[in-house]
Structure 1
């Protein structure tokens, strides 16, 4: 029996949505396959047709979010000679805003620390390009300054996406640029 692509993708989407609703409430280790399938309206066997376990499902969601950010960094932020930090920070924040529901949870108290590490790795070239080249720093100092900026950017995104009524992106960018520069 051959599965129809539309049905397969809809089933996967339903399982992801059910998982996500649970993950927004509690850590991944406290979520069972049974809870996901009950919420999505499938039996457990259906889950295992698509995923090995709940961690694989979480990884798929994280990869989607990180993949979008990485494409943005690689395609738009690192190309070209004229780079304006505020414009590029705006693009990152807009992307975080578009996936706000995911970003808020993935960077929140139940979030996977590996997600934060990978996000830092992806945006690290921006920090290197905007803040580190002009500075005469040895390698140890470069690592410390890089971590300072990366942690600040992640904390800003975490705080901004967690706000019930977040400030407009342009206002946030102006605030960050004013403080950082």
Structure 2
């Protein structure tokens, strides 16, 4: 009997997890369901993962670690073409990993994953806005929330808009919102 390739086993377990996310919440996915779908024993599962939630963590980590490091900072909004270009690099990455992203941020995904996605945009608003304190925090939360909801919408409707169109919209939206924030500061 030949030994199983560990990467193949992990890939099958992770695919089983993603498949399970299609019809049940992340917290309801059991090791027994994953082992049955991946056609492995429980002992084989535990060689690779500590729990079903460990599989989720691994999937999230892999997606996050692959995000291109290029900064999509609000400071780049002073140069919209550079902002859009940096944004397109990240959106292209998400497009190539769309199936995984759809499941992780979908209705059955981990709601705390949003907090882990903070690397998607550079949160450094301080150098761009003269607002400080609570007002700056409110602006940051409003913009982050809008971007997150747009990303969720896009994953569910990826065929309705290209990543270039989404980048155009996000670039214009961000510039407009930050301009409104500046005007209200005066």
> Which of the five TM-score ranges fits, normalised by the shorter chain?
0.7 to 0.9
Native 8 Å contact 1:18 1:40 kept in 2: yes
Paired with 2:86 and 2:158, the residues of 1 have a C-alpha distance of 24
Alpha-carbon contact 2:72-2:83 (below 8 Å) kept = no
Assess, with a 3 A threshold, how the Cα gap between structure 1 residues 149 and 78 changes in structure 2: closer, same or farther.
closer
Equivalent in the alignment of 1:165: 159
With the length of structure 2 as denominator, give the TM-score of the two structures: 0.81
SS at match of 1:77: coil
Give the length in aligned residue pairs.
169
Alpha-carbon distance in 1 for matches of 2:158, 2:128: 38
- Aligned-residue CA RMSD (Å): 2.4
Please, which runs of 5 or more residues in structure 1 have no aligned partner?
none
1:77, 1:88 within 8 Å by CA — same for their partners in 2?
yes
In structure 2, the residue matched to 1:123 is: 120
Give the CA deviation at 1:127.
4.0
Who is 1:140 aligned against? 134
Structure 1 equivalent of residue 102 of structure 2:
104
CA distance in 1, matches of 2:63, 2:157: 20
Q: 1:123 to 1:146 in 2, by over 3 A?
A: farther
Cα offset for 1:65?
0.6
1:25 to 23, 26, 33: 23
Gaps of 5+ in 2: 176-186
Q: Distance in 1 between matches of 2:136 and 2:86?
A: 21
- Alpha-carbon shift at residue 134 of structure 1 (Å): 3.0
Flag as ranges the 4+ runs of structure 1 deviating above 6 A.
none
Provide Cα deviations, 1:66-110, integer angstroms capped at 9, x if missing partner: 1112xx23xx2279x976211112122112111111111211211
Aligned to 1:152: 146
